[in-house]
Chains A and B, each alone.
Chain A
């Protein structure tokens, strides 16, 4: 379930996400929206050299990025932790063919979560990714976002590896449910 409330617009780490992807020559940004990704999604859609593709469900992105790599281009999948569960079976494609895969995952059910229905998948997100052979890193501070995505992109595209950076709920900020 996507967030409704974007984080504070001055959150510099949000722009860092897209800047790091660009530095790694990412030409395809595929996503199921989440408020934590709002800035990266807006920047991707505004950039004529990037294909920004909204998905109906997250596992579509695994197939899309495999196809883009077959065609010689790099991409990244932006998703919320709930969507990691949707990706599980499709990750066999990544594992069996060793497609590079870069995922940036905004966390729910992780810290100060108001909606307890987010907790089961949020608590299982990192273990699920590891179970399917995806390497993971976790950013809980703004200054960690750029270096961790940079490192994950390096290992994805130079190692034909599946890599995910989890953006913690403390980083994103507590969602205001009652205003």
Chain B
């Protein structure tokens, strides 16, 4: 099956971004991809806590049911917190979409083969856990379809997006966790303590 250029796929997913789309990114390349698509106060970039991105997205989705929440993460990051898919499936937040950029490798650490690369299909895992919509995307038409669904808020979704195993130049998001927390909250109208 063909695979997409990760930067091009993420840029397409973020084109004509809706005002009410809130984004959480998993550490490593997915954070760089989202940053490359354009920094935004409504992005929360993780720089640590591998395995936590999906759960940050769940907490945000439950606290902000009138907004759409998109988690963009990698297959290795999601795999480290795989139980989160079960927790999310029990909650079924209609406004949460997880986009897994699946290159089948640990891209940040030297391109070692990952579980997804050795045959674990994360979209099928999510479907078996009870996600209402899953997809296995390998072309731009699939990205366009995913983008169109982000604002629907009609059920929890997970898309596996097949990307090439390559590391484009890093585009680093801010590393000050307090800063990105406070600017994200400010974008939603919440003051610092």
**Given the complex, which residues of A lie within 8 Å of B121, measured CB to CB?**
none
Query: Quick check: is B64 within 8 A (CB to CB) of the other chain?
Result: yes
In the complex, what distance in Å separates the CA atom of A160 from the CA atom of B181? 11
Between A and B, 27 residue pairs with Cβ closer than 8 Å are A27-B63, A28-B62, A28-B63, A51-B62, A53-B90, A54-B87, A55-B83, A55-B87, A56-B86, A60-B52, A60-B84, A61-B55, A62-B52, A67-B24, A67-B57, A67-B63, A70-B22, A71-B59, A71-B61, A72-B64, A75-B59, A89-B49, A93-B56, A98-B178, A99-B181, A158-B193, A160-B193
Closest to B54 in A: A63
Chain A residue total in the interface (Cβ 8 A): 36
Contact, CB under 8 Å: B49 / A56: no
Closest to A55 in B: B87
Closest 6 CB pairs of A and B: A67-B59, A71-B63, A56-B83, A97-B177, A63-B55, A63-B52
Closest to A94 in B: B49
Contact, CB under 8 Å: B56 / A66: yes
Contact residues, B140-154 vs A (CB, 8 A): none
Contact, CB under 8 Å: B184 / A70: yes
In the complex, what distance in Å separates the CA atom of A70 from the CA atom of B53? 13
The interface bits of chain A over 159-175 (1 if a CB of B lies within 8 angstroms of the residue's CB, else 0) are: 11000000000000000
Give residues in A with beta carbon < 8 Å to B. Answer: 27-28, 51, 53-57, 59-73, 75, 89-90, 92-93, 96-99, 157-160
**Given the complex, which residues of B lie within 8 Å of A69, measured CB to CB?**
59, 63, 181, 185
Query: Quick check: is B48 within 8 A (CB to CB) of the other chain?
Result: yes
Contact residues, B4-51 vs A (CB, 8 A): 22, 24, 44, 46-51
In the complex, what distance in Å separates the CA atom of A71 from the CA atom of B48? 20
When the two chains form the complex, which single residue of A51, A59, A159 contacts B52, counting CB atoms closer than 8 Å?
Answer: A59
For residue B131, give the distance in angstroms from its CB to the closest CB of chain A.
15
**Given the complex, which residues of B lie within 8 Å of A28, measured CB to CB?**
59, 62-63
**Given the complex, which residues of B lie within 8 Å of A89, measured CB to CB?**
48-50
**Given the complex, which residues of A lie within 8 Å of B112, measured CB to CB?**
none
